[in-house]
C-alpha cells in the first residue's frame, strides 16, 4: 500500500515538473520582451546620466555668469 501511494505521489510530482518545463519553453516571446525592456531601461539610464551631466555643466555656467555680472556691474544708486 505504501509503495502504491509513493508511486502516485512520484507520478504527480513528475507530471507537475514536466508542465513547468513546457511553460518555460513556450515563454520565449515573454523572455524576449523582458530582454528588450531591460535594454531600454539601460539606454534610458545612460541617457539620464548624460542629461544630468549637461544640467550640471549648464548650472555651473550660469553660476559663473552670475558671479561675473556681480563683479562687473556698478553698485546700485543709493536712495535718499
According to the model, what pLDDT value does residue 45 have?
92
Q: How far apart are CA 30 and CA 14, in angstroms?
A: 25
Dmax over Cα atoms in the chain, in whole Å?
A: 111
* pLDDT under 70: residue ranges of the chain: 1-4, 18-26, 80
Q: How far apart are CA 52 and CA 36, in angstroms?
A: 24
According to the model, what pLDDT value does residue 60 have?
95
According to the model, what pLDDT value does residue 58 have?
95
Q: How far apart are CA 80 and CA 2, in angstroms?
A: 108
CA atoms within 13 A on the CB side of 17: 6
3 state SS of 65 = helix
Amino acid at each position: 500500500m505504501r509503495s502504491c501511494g509513493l508511486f502516485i505521489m512520484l507520478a504527480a510530482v513528475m507530471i507537475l515538473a514536466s508542465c513547468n518545463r513546457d511553460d518555460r519553453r513556450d515563454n520565449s516571446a515573454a523572455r524576449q520582451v523582458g530582454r528588450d525592456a531591460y535594454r531600454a531601461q539601460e539606454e534610458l539610464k545612460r541617457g539620464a546620466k548624460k542629461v544630468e551631466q549637461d544640467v550640471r555643466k549648464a548650472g555651473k555656467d550660469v553660476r559663473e555668469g552670475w558671479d561675473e555680472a556681480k563683479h562687473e556691474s556698478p553698485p546700485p544708486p543709493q536712495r535718499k
